[in-house]
Structure 1
Amino acid sequence: MGEAYDRMQGELQWLGQQLGREAPGFDPLSAHPDLAGRVTSGDITRDVALELAQHRHTGQLQQSHTQAQQDRQQQDVQYQQGIASVQQLGAQLRASDAQFDQKLALLTPSIELIQRTLPPSQWQTEIHRAYLALPATAIAAPAAAAPVARNAPNPIRANSAAPVAPQITPENAFDLGVQAAKARGQ
């Protein structure tokens, strides 16, 4: 019960700080030395000073909330502008490149990475740069034929016919990813 009491004291102190209210272990006037000085000099009562401190705190909370709301709205606008610029780029490229759809299939993982890691204002430029880096004749390979059923490998004997997967390194990861996408017909 002693631990619970100590935790509750900590919670009350934290809540008092968040609300700007007097609580065990927290004096709101500690953040307002001007009000504390006026109480000490007898200009105002402690209750009046606490009410003024509460009012100031409420104003700060409202200002923070308004700023956060404005930030979210600005992010939404930037996101919509980023999407619109990428769509415009897609329309331009589709109109000028007969292989656009095939190239887009190869480029989709890069587009997703760009949109996850960069701000919307950079999406169009980076996607266009990645598109231009594709070979001029980049065409996705047709879907691979279904593999022929083989006898299940014998667990006692090593299957010498099984291909060994290449070691993935930072230098060859992109090429292996493109080969795997081509093998899947993407």
Structure 2
Amino acid sequence: MTNAPMRRDAAHNRQRIVDVARQLVDDDLPLQLNDVARLAGVGVATVYRHFPTPEALMETVATPGLEALITHAQRALTEEDPWKALTGFLHVTLEAQLTDPSLTAVRAAPRRVLPRTEELTAMLDSLAGQLLERTSAAGAVRDVVTWDDLLPLMCGIAFAANVHADDQQTRLASGRRYLEVVLQGLHS
């Protein structure tokens, strides 16, 4: 069974919904589907038809960020220096988490509701794991650390930077400092 292409007006409404959701997320406001409908100028049923839950909408908002991180991880795997590749990827990941709240929300969620999000997060975790394994094989990182260890640490760094700073620049500076502490502990 194939899905028919979306009508132009339906695609336009869907994009308006996503744009409104993006703004709400960026403004640190909750994604309540009734509010999204009102702000997007569409009926509540239209929002629910496209996004049955706030989680589905949040995951849709996060998709471009996840795709960008995957692209960066793929490029990092082609770098010659494994340590530089890993640290560069982690710095980009942290900056993305601190500038796109949807990424942290999706990565910290206990489960994914959209198959595409599950696919993207699995791919991102696989690539990040490869980066870490490659760095470990080169002797540049302690063997006891896995991506399953590092992922919650990255979420924790983003959380700490967000909690302890009021503005974007301070959050980024704090997050970079916290990441450097973790990287010093990883480096062998």
Superposition TM-score, scaled by structure 2 size: 0.28
Higher relative contact order (CA 8 A, sep 6+): 2
Q: Pick the structure with greater CA Rg.
A: 1
